[in-house]
Amino acid sequence: MRQINQTFTMTYDFPVCFDRGTLKPDNTLLVDILTRAGDGPHRVLPVIDDEVLKGNPDLLTQLREYAKHHGEHLSLIEPPLMVRGGEISKSDPKEVDEFYQRTQTDRIDRHSFALVIGGGAVIDAMGYAAATAHRGIRLIRMPTTVLAQNDAGIGVKNAINYRGRKNYLGTFATPFAVLNDFELLDSLPERERVAGMAEAVKVALIRDGEFFNWLYEARDRLAAFEPEAMEYMIIRCAELHLEHIRTSGDPFEQGSARPLDFGHWCAHRLEELSGSELRHGEAVAIGIALDSLYSHARGSIDTPTLARIRATLEGVGFSLSHPALDALDVELALQEFREHLGGRLCITLLLAAGKAEEVDHIDLAIMQDCRRRLLEDAWPL
């Protein structure tokens, strides 16, 4: 028997930028990002969420004017690929297949770029397409929702849904860059702005007690979408997510511990049960409430902390009950999450605001009681 042990190390490096007016001709951020790949002009396929275009009807004109102004660096591949916004882009193979077709008809290779402008679902689906076409086309993400700018669009995961299972097919692939333009949030419906705040509450509760206290104190300002508060919330939330990915020692999630999925074991199931009527952030908020109730029931957090969690979630605008919660099969949802993790259950629970632990066992009777209390609004105000 002969054995060769193959070991190598790679360094991953991509910028996550926060800005305003990214597509204004005098803004060089996008051009500066492209020139990191060398002299241009660089061929760029714009992939645009049709819901974003509805709220920003001048977007295509801005993009073309920008390309014209910076022609020595940027060559747009026309026409842009328009994809349906929302979960349909992950559940229907049409969008991914159209991306593959464009790579063939437009001769898009590994040195070209896909510039994906859209919400978290579109970025997920098109990120998956870009990562699998030619084994990887350079991807620049331009997230257009709060959730995508502070979480879904800034990391290394890409996925599509398969046979009713959320994120069943996916890849870990780093983007070339992430460009967060706060101006793109101005046209968002109120519901979408609120939904994105769930991930900020989540990451604060598991990693940064001071940030959670800030969210609690700023909940009225966030509910009113005060720009300064919103921008701080997004940047700090993104910072904490990126810090975890960078320092956890498991950026591609080869183990079972996934603290960034606090509140998510039931959130994904709630989305499925609601037929995607529940936004991801709305389902996560319910999941945070449920797992906080369970943490309290097992004596890990005190009643004042639980009350502050509820006040924060409801204060920024979340409803913490939904018919899907009544239909939730706790045991089945935990089993599906166990499979998602590779066979070993690992659930994140709270020890305090800003401190968490991973457990491999959930008491079904206690969790069922917590679900009942949430449905009946029988928990601390």
Mean pLDDT confidence for 127-150: 97
Exposure string for 209-247, b = 16+ CB within 10 A, e = fewer: eebbebbbebbebbbebeeebbbbbbbbbbbbbbebbee
Specify the residue for token string 């039931």.
266
Q: Residue 273: enclosing H or E segment and its boundaries? A: helix 264-273
Task: Give Cα 298 to chain centroid, integer Å.
Answer: 29
Mean pLDDT, residues 317-331: 96
Q: What does the angle CA 45 – CA 117 – CA 114 come to, to the nearest 5 degrees?
A: 25
90, 165 Cβ separation under 8 angstroms: no
Tally: H helices and E strands in the chain: 18, 11
Tell me the C-alpha distance between 268 and 333, whole Å.
Answer: 9
CB within 8 Å of 106: residues ≥ 6 apart? 45, 77
* Cα atoms in the Cβ-side hemisphere of radius 13 Å centred on 127: 33
- Which of 3.40.50.1970, 3.20.20.140, 3.40.50.300, 1.10.510.10 is the CATH number of 16-185? 3.40.50.1970
Q: What is the pLDDT of residues 89-110, one digit of tens each?
A: 999 999 999 999 999 999 999 9
Please report the pLDDT score of residue 339 as a whole number. 82
Residue 282 structure tokens: 């709305």
Q: What is the C-alpha separation between 227 and 60, in angstroms, rounded?
A: 25
Amino acid 257: pLDDT: 58
DSSP 36: G
Mean pLDDT value across residues 304-330: 97
Tell me: pLDDT of 262 over 90: yes
What is the fold of 190-375?
Answer: Dehydroquinate synthase-like, alpha domain (1.20.1090)
Q: Which two tokens stand for residue 48?
A: 């645009």
As a whole number of angstroms, the distance between CA 178 and CA 16 comes to 5
Average pLDDT estimate for 138-143: 98
Is pLDDT at 276 greater than 60 in this prediction?
Answer: yes
Residue among 149, 191, 187, 217 nearest 318 (CA): 191
Q: What is the pLDDT of residue 358?
A: 93
Give the mean pLDDT of 239-246.
Answer: 93
**Which range, of 20-34, 333-347, 360-374, averages the lowest pLDDT?**
333-347
The reported pTM is 0.94
Rounded to an integer, the average pLDDT of 5-21 is 94
Domain 16-185 shares a fold with domain 190-375: no
Q: Is the pLDDT of residue 350 over 70?
A: yes
Where in the chain are the domains? 16-185, 190-375
Task: Check pLDDT > 90 for residue 248.
Answer: no
Give the phi and the psi of residue 114 in degrees, each rounded to 5: -105, 125
- Report the share of the chain in percent with pLDDT over 90: 88
pLDDT at 235: 98
Q: Identify the helix (H) or strand (E) that includes residue 364.
A: helix 364-375
pLDDT tens-place string over residues 179-195: 999 999 999 999 999 99
- Amino acid 312 reads T
What is the structure's pLDDT at 256? 56
What is the pLDDT, as a whole number, of residue 282?
97
Q: Which residue has the higher pLDDT, 164 or 331?
A: 331
- Please report the pLDDT score of residue 342 as a whole number: 73
Q: Is the pLDDT of residue 250 over 80?
A: no
pLDDT at 48 (0 to 100): 98
User: What whole-number percentage of the chain has pLDDT above 70?
Assistant: 99
Is the pLDDT confidence value at 316 over 60? yes
**Average pLDDT, stretch 13-19?**
97
**pLDDT at residue 249 is higher than 80:** no
Residue 254 pLDDT more than 80? no
pLDDT tens-digit profile of 222-239? 999 999 999 999 999 999
